[in-house]
Every structure is written in structure tokens, then in C-alpha cells.
Amino acid sequence: MPVPPADSATDPAPAAPPRFRTTLVRVLVVQAAALALLALLQRAFTP
């Protein structure tokens, strides 16, 4: 197993790659859509 450099534990985390950032935005959009669907369900069927 590779041994990490001595200061790796306190180095700042590497920035998220652009593809990952796009995925993050996608996650948030999908979740917002899921919550909107639940809200719609509540609004349409709860008197």
C-alpha cells in the first residue's frame, strides 16, 4: 500500500474536478424536482 507524504493529513483537500461539480448541480436539481413532486402530491390530495 502506498505510504502518503508526511503532511498529507493536513494538506487542503483537492478541488473537486469540474465533472464532479456538474454532477453536484445535477443532484441538487433532481432533489428539488423530487421535493416539488412531493409538494404537488400534498397540495393536490390534501383537502
Partner 1 sequence: MHWINWAVVVAYLAYVAVDGLRRTRGGARDLEAYLLAGRSLPWWAVGLSVMATQLSAVTMIGTTGQGAVDGLRFVQFYFGLPVAMVILGVTLVPFLRRAGVYTAYEYLERRFDARTRALTATLFLLSRGMSCGTIIAAPAVVFAAVFGWPLPWCVALVGVPAVLYTVAGGVQAVAWADVKQMALITVAVVGAVLVLLHRIPVAPAAALHVAGAAGRLRAFDFTFSLTSTYTFWSGLLGGTFLMLSYFGTDQSQVQRYLAARSVDEARRSLLVSAYWKIPLQAAVLMIGVLVFVFYQFERPPLYYNPAHAQQARAAAPARYAALEARYGAAWGARRDAAAALARAPAAREAIAAFRARDSAVTLVRDEALALAGGATGTPAKDVNYIIPHFVTRELPVGLAGLFVAGVIAAAMASVAAELNSLATASVIDLYRRWVRADASDAHYLGVSRVATALWGVFACAVAVYAATLGSLIEVVNRFGSLFYGSILGVFFLAMWPRARAAGAFAGLLAGMAAVAAVNFGAPRVSFLWHNVVGTLVVLGIGTLVSVRSPGAPPPHSPPARAPRAGSP
Interface residues with partner 1 (CB under 8 A) are 1-4, 6-17, 20, 23-24, 27-28, 30-31, 34-35, 38-39, 41-42, 44-47
Using alpha carbons, select from 8, 27, 24 the residue that is nearest to residue 16: 24
Do 33 and 41 form a contact (C-beta atoms < 8 A)?
no
Contacts with 24 (C-beta within 8 Å, 6 or more apart), sequence order: 16
CB of 34 to partner 1, least distance (A): 5
CB of residue 9 to partner 1, shortest distance in Å: 4
Min dist. Cβ of residue 39 to partner 1 (A): 6
